[in-house]
Chain A
Amino acid sequence: MSISPHAAIILLILGPLTFAALAFLWPRYWRWFCFTLAPLQVGAVVKLALEVYASGPVRHHVGGWTAPLGIELRADGMAVVLLVITAGIGLAVMLYASRYFDPGPGQQSAEGARRQKYFWPLYFFLLASLNALFLSADIFNLYVTLELIGFSAVALVALAGKGPALTAALRYLLVSLAGSLFYLLGVVLTYGTYSTLDISLLASRVEPSFVTWVALGLMTGGLLMKAALFPLHFWLPPAHANAPSPVSALLSALVVKGAFCILLRLWFEAFASMVTPAAANFLGWLGVAAIIWGSIQALRQPRLKLLVAYSTVAQLGYLFLVFPLALSESSGFTAWSGCLLFLGAHACAKTAMFLTAGNILHAAGHDRIRDLDGITHVLPLSVFAFALAGISLVGLPPSGGFAGKWMLLNAGVSQGKWIWVTAILVGSLLAAAYIMRVLNHAFTRVPEPDIPNPIPPVMEWTGFTLALLAVVLGFFAQWPVELLRIGSPFVSVVQTVEMLP
């Protein structure tokens, strides 16, 4: 493809946005929109990744205006890795949803038709806002993308249309609005102090002061609400468990990661010069609490989708261990890139899990774990995919989850921070326990399991492919790490290659 990297950046934001409008106006042609956008998006992401790998970060000034007045879009290694994850998960969910909402000619209910009509515009809208978030280099622009993501995510949850989903959507919206307003207040205070919104300009101007700490605290607090870190996770399980399954997958794999990525940008780039170990440890401790609490709750859930949702709460906890571990000069990059690798592996594994949970829910008509005995006879591929995704969540080699945890562990051991090392290991054991709880029932032999509905093959294969990807990601871990190196906020990145498993 011979488009310029600047065109690729614009295409990644305006492309899905245009298709969102088209899909809203002419819902009947959703198939055409999907199969036009998918190759365009994948092409643009690949082009951008190759360009960044070959010649460093790409900066695009929207409308030709430079900072501080203009808006800058920036594609560095981290942005490109996240765009690749978004494009991959987006493609898989698209394939799954194309059959989920439309089981075949003559079989679609009026309710299914209504959901399909609104799903596609919202899906494109969500993709556009996620891409915009990962490319933004300006803290106010990040606020806008954060709100756009929040709105489309809430509307997607409400798509389920049933009682608990509506209440969950409303609670999610209120938390999301309050969170982004706190973030906005922090942005305002930052602008008032440093007269700029640009992340790289901020990085050179920021110095520790009371107002700056209040600003960073407000922004972090708001983002923690959106990223559902314990104890602000209360809205996540009902919202993720009651949404339609393709939506649950998008929410758990991508949406919560958006807020987390802004946190990374703030703590390691814009405000890096004033971050203290005590503040970073505080986030680390919340992460540990999330791992323990989320896993224990996952063990106690009666329903499969709730179990998977609480597992998200636990897995998000690991991501926050990056804050204390990446402060070190020598092994900071190891922890930071390990965290992003873990994020990618979790995105693949969790999408696979929600998609297979959706298959089980659809086939059996319920997702009560204790009544899932013998489901493996009916849906062998889905249960196998669930188990493979579980391997990555637990962190067994050679999965992507293992590679990410290994890098975090390496950073922890080399810095002698045993408490974070212990948390990672205990969390893995707990994850193994809740995954086994599901598989135990799934593999129990029963003479004639009562499974009424057949599942279209594409819905089984998308989940399986993603689960397989999560498991083999460990073999290719050096690729994302090489990419992450480009434009990363860490200076000494030499040691990392030996730390890869």
Chain B
Amino acid sequence: MVGGRLKGRHSLRPGSSTVNEIAFRLYLLAGASLVAIGFFGILASAELLRKILGVNIMGSGIFLILVGLAARTTDPIPDPVPHAMVLTGIVVSVCGTALALALADRVRAMKAREMLDEEEEE
């Protein structure tokens, strides 16, 4: 029954241009821009911390689209599936960030040690 109610509630195809629809377009646009900015950050910045932040910005953009998607309905109750996806996505994103920070810390310590060794050799 729940499945039947969810089916076809929203669509990215044109045709249903309500106020909700316009709001959703804004969310979609903002989210897509964040994804692009985040990805550019990963590619363009040399610093590890900035790259990790880039990944987080990409994630936030996607979560923004999902939240917009959940609210995009004439029903007073928002669609629960995108909410569940955002929650899962946040958990995954926190784990990924933690792992990346731990690795980046190790890499930085290793680089510092290498520089010290080189100075001693000189």
A interface, CB within 8 angstroms of B? 66-69, 140, 144, 147, 151, 154-155, 158, 163, 166-167, 169-170, 173-174, 177-178, 181, 184-185, 187-189, 191-193, 195-197, 209, 211
Name B12-57 residues within 8 Å CB distance of A: 12-13, 35, 38-39, 42, 48, 51-52, 55
What are 10 contact pairs spanning A and B, CB under 8 A? A68-B6, A69-B3, A151-B99, A173-B103, A181-B62, A188-B65, A188-B69, A189-B12, A193-B12, A211-B12
CB distance from B79 to the nearest CB of A (A): 8
Q: Which residues of B contact A177 (CB under 8 A)?
A: 55, 96, 100
Contact A163 B110 (CB under 8 A): yes
Q: A178-B55, A188-B66 are in contact. Are A209 and B81 (CB under 8 A)?
A: no
Please judge, given known A-B contacts A69-B3, A163-B114, A188-B62, whether A170 and B69 are in contact too, CB under 8 Å.
no
Task: Please report which residues of chain B, range 68-85, place their CB below 8 angstroms from some CB of chain A when the two chains form the complex.
Answer: 69, 80-82, 85
Q: Please tell me if the beta carbons of A191 and B81 are within 8 angstroms of each other in the complex.
A: yes
How far apart sit A96 and B5, CA to CA, in the bound complex (Å)? 53
A184 engages B89 (CB within 8 Å)? yes
A192/B12 in contact, CB under 8 A = yes
B99 touches A155 (CB 8 A): yes
Distance to closest chain B CB from A208 (angstroms): 12
B103: contacting residue among A67, A158, A192, A211, CB under 8 A: A158
Given A69-B3, A178-B39, A167 and B107 contact (CB-CB distance below 8 Å):
yes
| In contact, B12 and A166 (Cβ under 8 angstroms) | no
Across the interface, do A188 and B103 meet the contact criterion of CB distance under 8 Å?
A: no
Residues on B close to A: CB < 8 A? Answer: 2-3, 6-13, 35, 38-39, 42, 48, 51-52, 55, 58-59, 61-62, 65-66, 69, 80-82, 85, 88-89, 92, 95-96, 99-100, 103-104, 106-107, 110, 114
- Taking CB atoms, residues of chain B closer than 8 Å to A193 are 11-13
A-B residue pairs, 9 tightest by C-beta:
A193-B12, A211-B12, A170-B103, A192-B12, A181-B58, A177-B55, A147-B92, A192-B69, A177-B96
Closest beta carbon of chain B to A264's beta carbon, Å:
23
In the assembled complex, the Cα of A8 lies from the Cα of B37 at a distance in Å of 44
Q: Chain A residue with minimal CB distance to B92?
A: A147
Whether B107 contacts A181 by the Cβ 8 Å rule is: no
Which residues of B are found within 8 Å of A185, using beta-carbon distances? 35, 61-62, 65
A178 touches B99 (CB 8 A): no
Closest to B102 in A: A158
Measured between beta carbons, the chain B residues less than 8 angstroms from A209 are 13
Query: With the chains together, A193 CA to B72 CA distance in Å?
Result: 12
Which residues from B are CB-within-8-Å of A151?
95-96, 99
**Measured CA separation A187–B92 after assembly (Å):** 15
